[in-house]
DNA sequence: GTCTATATAAAGATAGAC
DNA sequence: GTCTATCTTTATATAGAC
């Protein structure tokens, strides 16, 4: 669609950063251009479809990166469930927050229905499905009891993701340490006794 | 500040509903007025501080209602931890989604710093602290092992809240049933063996 | 590829009649 | 308490020079 270039990449990264931090509606085209170090009119040279096209493109890219990051964590520590989940948590904590509720209820209603549907599907396939799969494999190995793994995967994912919420005042320990505690509880809770 | 009246209450409820569903930035004053069945200029009669004042007022009210709803659930089933958590979940599922990440990262940056600080504090005191307290009391009774109960409370809260995210296509069972499963895992995971 | 200038539309808000 | 009319500001987007 548009030529790759160093400047375009700066725009995409600025957009990804700001959209991810504040959501579609709280970010202006000027914010993005300013973050990328160019005039906001210049942005349309790199993003002919404007704000909406930019959002769809960088959100898809962010989701794909999450999918790949999670897949790498899963592959690296296979078949050690605890290490797999810790590595997924480390990845999620290292990335900007990915607020699925905001994405679905606030951001996506502002874009074309086709794009919204595409991103919704991509989000679930990138986040929930891989986590559920890791649990499923551990279940097949007999390490955890059979639960509704979709529900549990969602709970685990949002538990880790919510660590981003904590303002520093409430952050008594490193987020990764909190994540380990949460993972411990989940694993213990699913382990047959 | 402003006289209570049936019309003003309609405005507040419309604002609460829309802000809660889509967030501060995705809702316009016209949306709220339209939902309340009045012209948008009339809205300023009931809300002299405009959109921002309206948001702060209804968000505080929503948070306070959540605090009270959780407190009622806790009191009703004291000292039965599982029933307490189920009742909290039932309350949260029955209410519109309360997205803390969106509130803190997307909505609050748009309001005056004083208001933002006030709402941040109120949010944590209304949601996380009560849930942590229920866990703490169960811990004192010896029913669950000592964990970082702040982390676990946050995980539990966001796990339940994330059930709102699931589009109907992914909703194979009632949300309350999923919540029960999640609560089971949390309790089992914290129970000393 | 970036800028200045400008067009267009939408949003928040106020004044004043009824 | 509600409306019509209007004002001001901001946002998205385009045209065209350099």
Instruction: Quick: pLDDT tens for A141-181.
Output: 999 998 899 999 999 999 999 999 887 777 889 999 999 99
Nearest-by-CA chain B residue for A175: B151
pLDDT of residue A5: 94
HSE, side-chain direction, 13 A CA sphere, residue A74: 18
Q: Which residues of A touch B165 (CB under 8 A)?
A: 100-101, 104, 154, 158
B89-136 confidence digits (pLDDT tens): 999 999 999 999 999 999 999 999 999 999 999 999 999 999 999 999
User: Contact A99/B105, CB-based, under 8 Å?
Assistant: yes
Which CATH superfamily groups domain A51-190? Tetracycline Repressor, domain 2 (1.10.357.10)
HSE, side-chain direction, 13 A CA sphere, residue B45: 12
Rg (CA), chain A: 19
Q: A5 to chain B, minimum CA–CA distance in Å?
A: 30
pLDDT of residue A1: 52
Across the interface, which of B24, B104, B159 has its CB nearest the CB of A165?
A: B104
pLDDT of residue B4: 84
Tell me which H or E stretch contains A108: none
Nucleic strand D under 7 Å from the C-beta of B38 = yes
SS3 of A79, please?
coil
**DSSP calls for A12-70:** HHHHHHHHHHH-STT--HHHHHHHHTS-TTTHHHH-TTHHHHHHHHHHHHHHHHHHHHH
Closest nt by CA–C1' to A52: D12
Nucleic strand C under 7 Å from the C-beta of A2 = no
Nucleic strand C under 7 Å from the C-beta of B38 = no
Residue B48 CB-density burial (10 A; 0-12 exposed, 13-18 middle, 19+ buried): exposed
Please give residues of chain A from 13 to 42 whose alpha-adjacent beta carbon (CB) lies under 7 Å from any atom of strand D: 27-30, 40-41
B73-101 confidence digits (pLDDT tens): 999 999 999 999 999 999 999 999 999 99
Nucleic strand D under 7 Å from the C-beta of B41 = yes
A4-51 confidence digits (pLDDT tens): 899 999 999 999 999 999 999 999 999 999 999 999 999 999 999 999
CA A64 to C1' D17, whole Å: 40
CA B37 to C1' D17, whole Å: 50
SS (H, E, C) chain B: CCCCCHHHHHHHHHHHHHHHHHCCCCCCHHHHHHHHCCCHHHHHHHCCCHHHHHHHHHHHHHHHHHHHHHHHHHHHCCCCHHHHHHHHHHHHHHCCCCCHHHHHHHHHHHCCHHHHHHHHHHHHHHCHHHHHHHHHHHHHCCCCCCCCHHHHHHHHHHHHHHHHCCCHHHCCCCHHHHHHHHHHHHHHHHCCC
Nearest residue to B104 via CA among A180, A151, A19, A167: A167
- Quote the CA–CA distance of A123 and A118 in Å, as a whole number: 9
Neighbours of A31 (CB within 10 A): 16
Please give residues of chain A from 103 to 132 whose alpha-adjacent beta carbon (CB) lies under 7 Å from any atom of strand C: none
B21-61 confidence digits (pLDDT tens): 999 999 999 999 999 999 999 999 999 999 999 999 999 99
Query: Which bases in strand D are touched by protein, i.e. have an atom under 7 Å from a CB?
Result: 1-5, 10-16
Nucleic strand C under 7 Å from the C-beta of B91 = no
CATH number (1.10.357.10, 3.40.50.620, 3.40.50.720, 3.40.50.300) of B56-190 reads: 1.10.357.10
Residue labelled with tokens 């996380």: B128
CA B19 to C1' C11, whole Å: 16
Contacts of B115 (CB under 8 A, 6+ apart): B52, B56, B108
User: Contact A165/B101, CB-based, under 8 Å?
Assistant: yes
* Two tokens, residue B176: 């309350």
Q: What is the mean pLDDT of residues A110-120?
A: 98
Q: What is the mean pLDDT of chain B?
A: 96
Residue A4 CB-density burial (10 A; 0-12 exposed, 13-18 middle, 19+ buried): exposed
Nearest-by-CA chain A residue for B180: A151
User: Contact A102/B100, CB-based, under 8 Å?
Assistant: no
Q: Which residues of B touch A105 (CB under 8 A)?
A: 21-23, 97, 99
Closest nt by CA–C1' to A7: C1
Nucleic strand C under 7 Å from the C-beta of A38 = yes
Across the interface, which of B97, B105, B151 has its CB nearest the CB of A182?
A: B151
- Quote the CA–CA distance of A165 and B98 in Å, as a whole number: 13
User: Contact B185/A152, CB-based, under 8 Å?
Assistant: yes
User: Contact A190/B186, CB-based, under 8 Å?
Assistant: no
User: Contact A186/B187, CB-based, under 8 Å?
Assistant: no
């Amino acid at each position: 669609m548009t030529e790759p270039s160093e400047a375009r990449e700066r725009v995409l990264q600025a957009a990804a950063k700001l959209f991810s931090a504040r959501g579609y509606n709280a970010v202006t085209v000027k914010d993005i251009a300013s973050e990328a170090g160019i005039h906001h009119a210049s942005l349309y040279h790199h993003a002919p479809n404007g704000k909406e096209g930019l959002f769809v493109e960088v959100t898809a890219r962010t989701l794909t990166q999450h999918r790949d990051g999670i897949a790498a964590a899963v592959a690296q520590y296979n078949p050690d469930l605890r290490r797999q989940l810790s590595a997924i948590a480390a990845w999620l904590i290292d990335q900007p927050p990915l607020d699925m509720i905001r994405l679905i209820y606030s951001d996506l209603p502002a874009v074309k229905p086709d794009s919204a549907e595409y991103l919704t599907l991509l989000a679930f396939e990138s986040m929930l499905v891989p986590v559920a799969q890791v649990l499923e494999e551990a279940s097949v190995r007999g390490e955890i009891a059979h639960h509704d793994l979709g529900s549990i995967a969602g709970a685990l994912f949002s538990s880790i993701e919510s660590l981003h919420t904590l303002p520093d005042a409430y952050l008594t320990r490193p987020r990764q340490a909190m994540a380990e505690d949460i993972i411990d509880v989940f694993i213990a809770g699913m382990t047959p006794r």
